[in-house]
Amino acid sequence: MSRSIRLFDLIQILRDGRLHRASDMARDLGVSVRSIWRDMATLAASGMPVEGERGVGYILRQPITLPPMMLQPTELIALRLGVRLVAEGADPNLAAAARSLAGKIATVAPAPRDSELSDDLFTPSPPTAHRASPHLPMLRKAIRQSERLTIAVLDGAGQLIQRDIRPLALALTGQTWVLAAWCDTKTGFAAFGLDRLLDIVPRGEAFPREPGKRLTDYRKWQAKGAGQVVKLEV
């Protein structure tokens, strides 16, 4: 077995996100434990998120590959259109990631016919959505980390107000990005239009996922007005 093939096989073993001992991998691949040690060092030096040490084991902390898959022509069109929409979106980090992903797709997928990806098949994000772009990375981070925030927004009368919130989710509704949250200030759920958001201050503390204040509870609250436009609260 060549070393390049062995490195590929090691990545496939580690993809499950579990801890694997060098001795087990060496036995499965028919090489010495020392070879596995050297291979793990090579993978780590190449940028793979491999963690571990001799005598303990190794683990791949993040998924880095997708399994081989066959896509139907319409599925490939959907994939390309989705990537294009994100690349033209308001979130700068996701837009850059989408452009990078588009390049990777282009290297392994056949070139599309012009009629399949005509520019009139989608509408770029409107200006109101782009107003939210400075705030989206911080909000996504706060949602992932369940971090409390204090936000400054304009109310319906154009007055500046502050709210202490627990951010739950982001959604693009029509022409506006909306932040779903539990508002500690008003003790209830709220949907904030990011076109009226002026400032965000992370409070440096995580909030617990309490029953009645979670995203699933927000969706139930939102469903009470099914078929209606949910009013943006401030």
pLDDT at 5: 81
Q: How far is CA 98 from the centre of its chain?
A: 11
Q: H-type helices in the chain, by residue range? A: 3-14, 22-29, 33-45, 73-87, 92-108, 127-130, 136-145, 215-223
Instruction: At 222, give phi and psi (nearest 5°).
Output: -65, -35
Is the pLDDT confidence value at 189 over 50? yes
For the stretch 127-142, pLDDT in tens is: 555 666 778 888 989 9
Q: Would you give the end-to-end CA distance of the chain in angstroms? A: 63
Whole-angstrom CA distances from 86 to 95, 116, 195, 197 are 6, 18, 19, 21
By the 8 A CB rule, do 43 and 10 touch? yes
Average pLDDT over residues 201-219: 92
Fold type of domain 3-60: Arc Repressor Mutant, subunit A (1.10.10)
Tell me the pTM: 0.54
**37, 50 in Cβ contact below 8 A?**
no
Do the domains spanning 3-60 and 130-223 agree at the CATH topology level? no
Question: With 90 as the cut, is the pLDDT of residue 23 above it?
Answer: yes
Quote the CA–CA distance of 157 and 175 in Å, as a whole number: 20
**Distance of alpha carbon 208 from alpha carbon 147, whole angstroms:** 9
The pLDDT of residue 227 is above 60: no
DSSP labels for 54-77? TTTEEEE-S----------HHHHH
d(CA 4, CA 56): 24
Q: In the chain, where are the structural domains located?
A: 3-60, 73-124, 130-223
Q: Give pLDDT, residue 225.
A: 63
Evaluate whether the domain defined by 130-223 bears CATH number 2.30.30.100: yes
Predicted pLDDT at 222:
84
- Asked whether 196 and 234 are in contact (CB, 8 A), the reply is yes
